Amino acid sequence: MPSVISSDEWDLPRLKASIGFEDDVQYLASDDQDTEFFDVKFYPYGDVTHDPVFAAVSKKHVVVYRLSNKANPPYELVQLFRDDDKEALNCSCTWTKDPETEVPYLCVAGRDAKIKVYDVVHGKLVKVLVGHGGEINDLATCPTNFLLIASASEDTTVRIWSLDPVHSKQPCVCLLAGEGHSSGLLTVAFHNSGRYVLSAGHDNVICLWTLPDLPPEPNGKNPQKPIVIHYPHFFTSEVHSGIVDCVAFFGDLVLSRACHEDIIVLWRIEGFSSHDPPPEISDAPTTSDTERLTRSAFAPATASACPPQYTRLLEFWTPHCGHQFYLRFKLFHDKDKHPVLAFGNAKAMIFFWDLARLGSYHDFISEVRDPYRDKSQPIHRPGWLVPIQHRHKGDAVSKLKDAASDRESVASGRTGSVDVETHLDVNTNYSQETLETWELKYDMTRVEEPIRAHSQSNITVKDFVGRQVAWSAGGEWCVVVGSKNLAIILQRWHKKDRGDDKEKKPS
């Protein structure tokens, strides 16, 4: 028998509980009966050793919960807002802080084109930002300056807002507009450097914008006008063929998805590096060549040579999304932990991919197939690479062993052990079915084949639609919100009860 090295760094979240909130119908018009949470965000500025807090937004309500291992159920409602504005139907939120007291603030926006800033501790509205000419569909906070907020709107623009008191007379400090998008926007994301912004929406286009240096403190009585950026430094309508409803940076790479495609795409903007000096505004390509579907300042196309301006790297399979859009993935990305991608589809399924497994699988297979390796030396097979073993009828002992193995590995998400094996030949030791299953989940070389989820959680509520995913700062907790006014709580690394894998009933 191979020896086992215990480790939980490879664990993926498992169902812990679910929260059902009161019906919004009584606060909505008779022709608008849908009740859903559309967005969820964890407070990112707290001590990682403290119990994490998240906010979820439905059309008329904002709820704030604290999660804890010491409580049963593991959540506590700490704040509740109801938006009584007649025109308000909210769908997005993002966290920030009071610039002086650092009291947690939550920005909320939606159909009425206003960004409402709430003091979460005292439960009061402290500021309203206006300027968009259409519904606001997404909000994001700058990772390097919590006073900067980006908003993506149906009016085809991204606005950058400053909550710094020096900009109180003109809080909109930058406008990303003009020749970027031709239809309403659904998603916006900052680069970790805070210098670049991605936007996308109904026109199938993804743009990368470079933020300028923001205006200084105004000298006179009149506030400075917002800086207007007319052209993005990268523009493409080729990555997706449908409405793009979620974009994010993964380092300098890009993750994006579009409805009808059932995939999340990881791709690279050729020539783009955040380590290089930011390009000048004048470097942005114009629309002089309207037939070009991709325009880039980082790998310019010329008449004599047209190098690739972007490269598709990987696809992640997200089945059963159908016609739905406004379904959003979330990447947990911490320099000291594995990057993990999470997504909820339209059929009550939540998918997880541990991106570190892709490289680990490549290393394992390369080592096994190395013709020059010393076959007397052991090879470490990661515990999440579980060989497929079909159960034999009538063998009760085998059934019990297999069932226990399943619970501790694939089904539970606890796949951190490492088997040490010797005299290993991949084609001899493992069945063709096992090898094909591993390839579908972990092989990065098959670019044309979307990577299957490494772990999947099935929700017992029929046809639950996962609208948005959020990760706690330390990556222990994951929350998925969506239809039925449900918030699904998932957790990993908790040692109290390994057998507690069943979803709690909505409260």
pLDDT tens readout for residues 74-122:
999 999 999 988 888 999 999 999 999 999 999 999 999 999 999 999 9
Residue 226 contacts residue 174 (beta carbons within 8 Å): yes
pLDDT at 249 over 60: yes
pLDDT, averaged across the chain = 87
Q: How confident is the model over 484-499, as pLDDT tens digits?
A: 999 999 999 876 444 4
Q: How confident is the model over 363-376, as pLDDT tens digits?
A: 999 998 888 888 88
Look at residue 447 in the predicted model and tell me its pLDDT.
Answer: 81
Q: How confident is the model over 295-315, as pLDDT tens digits?
A: 999 987 664 456 789 999 999
* Spatial separation of the C-alpha atoms in residues 233 and 271, rounded to whole Å: 12
The DSSP element (H or E) to which 10 belongs, if any, is none
Of the CA atoms within 13 Å of residue 368, those in its CB half-sphere come to 20
Q: Indicate the angle between helix axes 355-368 and 432-442, nearest 10 degrees.
A: 140
pLDDT at 409 over 50: no
- Closest by CA position to 133, among listed 198, 78, 209, 185: 185
435 dihedral zone (left: phi>0; alpha: psi -120 to 50; beta):
alpha
> E strands along 262-407, which residues?
263-269, 294-296, 310-317, 330-332, 340-344, 349-354, 379-382
pLDDT at 392 over 90: no
- Closest by CA position to 63, among listed 481, 460, 477: 481
* Spatial separation of the C-alpha atoms in residues 422 and 375, rounded to whole Å: 7
Please state the separation of Cα 39 from the chain's center in Å.
11
User: Residues 6 or more apart from 65 whose CB is under 8 A from it?
Assistant: 19, 53, 54, 55, 56, 75, 76, 77, 78, 487
* Spatial separation of the C-alpha atoms in residues 396 and 388, rounded to whole Å: 18
Look at residue 507 in the predicted model and tell me its pLDDT.
Answer: 40
Look at residue 199 in the predicted model and tell me its pLDDT.
Answer: 98
311 dihedral zone (left: phi>0; alpha: psi -120 to 50; beta):
beta
Q: 322 or 134: which carries more pLDDT confidence?
A: 134
- Closest by CA position to 351, among listed 327, 378, 375: 327
Q: How confident is the model over 334-391, as pLDDT tens digits?
A: 988 999 999 999 999 999 999 999 999 999 999 988 888 888 888 888 989 989 887 6
* Spatial separation of the C-alpha atoms in residues 312 and 314, rounded to whole Å: 6
* Spatial separation of the C-alpha atoms in residues 416 and 410, rounded to whole Å: 11
Residue 178 contacts residue 158 (beta carbons within 8 Å): no
**Type of residue found at 385:** L
* Token pair for 400: 């019990």
Look at residue 413 in the predicted model and tell me its pLDDT.
Answer: 52
User: Residues 6 or more apart from 395 whose CB is under 8 A from it?
Assistant: none
* Spatial separation of the C-alpha atoms in residues 267 and 263, rounded to whole Å: 12
* Spatial separation of the C-alpha atoms in residues 90 and 112, rounded to whole Å: 8
* Spatial separation of the C-alpha atoms in residues 374 and 188, rounded to whole Å: 51
Look at residue 226 in the predicted model and tell me its pLDDT.
Answer: 93
Task: State mean pLDDT over 159-185.
Answer: 93
* Spatial separation of the C-alpha atoms in residues 312 and 412, rounded to whole Å: 32
pLDDT at 2 over 80: no
Question: How big is the chain, counted in residues?
Answer: 507
Sort strands 172-176 and 227-229 into parallel, antiparallel or unpaired: parallel
pLDDT at 506 over 50: no
pLDDT at 501 over 60: no
Task: State mean pLDDT over 261-281.
Answer: 96
Q: 178: pLDDT confidence band, cut at 50, 70 and 90?
A: confident
* Token pair for 325: 């859009």
* Spatial separation of the C-alpha atoms in residues 16 and 38, rounded to whole Å: 21
Residue 206 contacts residue 254 (beta carbons within 8 Å): yes
Q: Which residues pair with 18 in a beta bridge?
A: 488
* Bond prior to 371 in cis (omega within 30° of 0): no
pLDDT at 294 over 80: yes
Where is mean pLDDT largest: 4-13, 85-94, 420-429?
85-94
Q: 292: pLDDT confidence band, cut at 50, 70 and 90?
A: confident
- In three-state form (DSSP H/G/I as H, E/B as E, the rest C), the secondary structure along 221-284 is CCCCCCEEECCCCEEECCCCCCCEEEEEEECCEEEEEECCCCEEEEEEECCCCCCCCCCCHHHC
* Token pair for 96: 């920030």
End-to-end CA distance of the chain: give it in Å, rounded. 46
How many Cβ atoms sit within 10 Å of the Cβ of residue 440? 15
* Spatial separation of the C-alpha atoms in residues 48 and 45, rounded to whole Å: 9
Q: 223: pLDDT confidence band, cut at 50, 70 and 90?
A: confident
pTM, rounded to two decimals:
0.89
